Amino acid sequence: MTTATSRTGSGNGTGTDPGPAGEASGRALAVREFERLARARLDPAHYDYFAGGAGDEVTLRANEAAFGRLALLPRVLRGAAGPDLGVTLLGRRAATPVLVAPTAFHRLAHPDGERATARAAAAAGTIMIVSMAATVAVEDVAAAAPDAELWFQLYAQSDAAFTEAVVRRAEAAGCSALVVTADSPARGRRERELRRGFTDLPDGLRCENLRDGGRVRPIEMWPGLSWEHLAFLRRITALPIVLKGVLHPDDARRALGHGVAALLVSNHGGRQLDSVPATIDALPEIAAAVDGAVPVLLDGGIRRGTDVLKALALGADAVAVGRPVIWGLAADGERGVARVLGLLRDEVEQALTLCGCASVRDLDPGMVRRTC
Ligand SMILES: Cc1cc2nc3c(=O)[nH]c(=O)nc-3n(C[C@H](O)[C@H](O)[C@H](O)COP(=O)(O)O)c2cc1C
Ligand SMILES: O=C(O)C(=O)c1ccccc1
């Protein structure tokens, strides 16, 4: 297995001395610059774990490339005052339409791990979806950021009693929604991980939400997961359920019949089945199928404020970012995540203003054109 992260900067991870990477992160003008800063600081095996996708990485590339094929058609002379970026999701107000997607192993990126991410999300007024594969226990994430709005991402396990115990922990920690990942009946085949021999966490790091008495269970990506288990989850918890990883409009319709509170259009950042469409290309059909019945969220390839506008215009109520948060965290801990979320917020505000929109509700599909 790989060793601890090699840090080329002098940042000490405690948040006092930014060091060279910290200074550079303060100067970074765009989310993509954080990927370079992160790469310079991370063990190459860990960088490849975070960055990589399944198979030939066709879908990984498509997620970003598809945004580049869409153009925004701004409206003029609408006299719109400074835009309101807020969104209401499942009864909760978020200050921006950019949420933190669930990603595993934040302590591989920075010693403060998910604690730092949660504090930055709280400071940005947005929602953090805590991964079931977090390296800080959900209770400790909540305690580190008491103001954070947390949702909990669940990989339902074949052991129903254990699954229920994990749900109870998320509830008790104050999470306000359960995000059930549906795109992972098996783990995607990620060749960068295989090439690097990245098979396990380094000593000292664990999936803290999988502790069960004295041991830590391995996480299962379980092919048996079915609509019946969704019904089971609805029976055992009053938390609203967000179904993550829906790409087919028939599944979106079926999910509505199962009482889901929201859908998250996702291809797992291109890490599961390669060759599935870019999420922004799958969105319009899903939005049409859902037809406003529940909020629709999207993740995958969001790197700019204009990407956020395109997704909102094509029917998403909010979006989430996965890797950008990891890059911010690896570059400069809590401050780096705050900077990434702040850059995206400012870009969304600027783009809304330039599109003549007073709020995210002013966006519609007529403001997006396919260019090729
Ligand atoms: C390193 C990494 C770990 C991830 N871990 C999880 C996870 O534990 N649970 C989950 O539902 N999705 C997980 N995802 C998928 C993300 O929630 C999200 O769908 C994806 O990262 C969005 O694409 P983006 O990275 O281009 O923003 C992970 C993604 C990455 C890159
Ligand atoms: O790496 C991932 O994409 C992921 O979802 C995951 C799931 C379980 C454990 C670790 C990572």
79 alpha carbon to ligand 1 midpoint, in Å? 39
Per residue in 107-149, pLDDT (tens digit) is 999 999 999 999 999 999 999 999 999 999 999 999 999 999 9
pLDDT reading at 237 higher than 50 = yes
Among all bound ligands, the one having the nearest atom to the CA of 129 is 1
Active site residue 106: no
Q: Whose CA is nearest to atom 8 of ligand 2?
A: 133
131 close to 107: Cβ distance less than 8 angstroms:
no
17 alpha carbon to ligand 2 midpoint, in Å? 31
What helix, strand, coil percent values describe the chain, rounded to 5? 45, 15, 40
Q: Whose CA is nearest to atom 10 of ligand 1?
A: 102
**Given this model, what pLDDT does residue 25 score?**
86
Residues written for the chain: 372
DSSP 272: S
Calculate the average pLDDT of the chain.
94
76 alpha carbon to ligand 1 midpoint, in Å? 37
Ranking 174-178, 182-186, 199-203, 291-295 by mean pLDDT, the lowest is 199-203
Q: Whose CA is nearest to atom 15 of ligand 1?
A: 268
Which residue in 206, 229, 20 sits closest to 105, CA to CA? Answer: 206
Pocket test for ligand 1, best of 43, 103, 201, 265 (most atoms within 8 A of CB): 103
**Given this model, what pLDDT does residue 3 score?**
36
Task: Please determine, for the modelled complex, whether the ipTM score is greater than 0.95.
Answer: yes
DSSP 277: P
CA distance linking residue 112 with residue 305, whole number of Å: 27
100 close to 129: Cβ distance less than 8 angstroms:
yes
Ligand 1 nearest-atom number relative to CA 300: 23
74 alpha carbon to ligand 1 midpoint, in Å? 31
Per residue in 309-318, pLDDT (tens digit) is 999 999 999 9
Domains and CATH numbers, the chain: 19-358 (3.20.20.70)
Q: How would you label 253-285 residue by residue, b for 16+ Cβ within 10 Å and e otherwise?
A: ebbbeeebbbbbbbbbbbbbbbebbbbbbbbeb
Ligand 2: lining residues by beta carbon, under 6 Å: 104, 133, 219, 268, 271
